[in-house]
Amino acid sequence: MEACIDIAGLVLRALDATMPATYAERFSVLEQQDVLSSDTSDRMRKAAGFRNILVHRYGDTIENETVYEHLQTELEWLIRYLREIRDLLDESAEPC
């Protein structure tokens, strides 16, 4: 998730877009810039929120099973996110 957040920041800088205050908002701005689909943006915002829960240990403890289930369902969305970013890069690439 950290890499996806970093990639979002790099893309926003390359697009000269406003850098939002939160990690989750980065995905909203990418949607507004027509980089991400609405579904992908929504799921990435949720994943960023779950990342915050894990990193900052909100709610005391999180069961390993909860983390495992989350990763199983979110993996598909991480792949979609990377594909949509790749599509942007393919469109932006200058011919050699």
Model pLDDT for residues 50-65, shown as the tens digit of each residue: 887 887 776 567 777 8
Q: Which residue has the tokens 């990377």?
A: 82
Model pLDDT for residues 4-39, shown as the tens digit of each residue: 999 999 999 999 999 999 999 999 999 999 999 999
> How far apart, in whole angstroms, are the C-alpha atoms of residue 67 and residue 43?
16
The pLDDT value given to residue 96 = 55
Integer-rounded Cα Rg, in Å, for the chain is: 14
Which of 10, 4, 93 minimizes the C-alpha distance to 40? Answer: 4
> For residue 51, what are the CA distances in angstroms to 14, 48, 95?
25, 5, 38
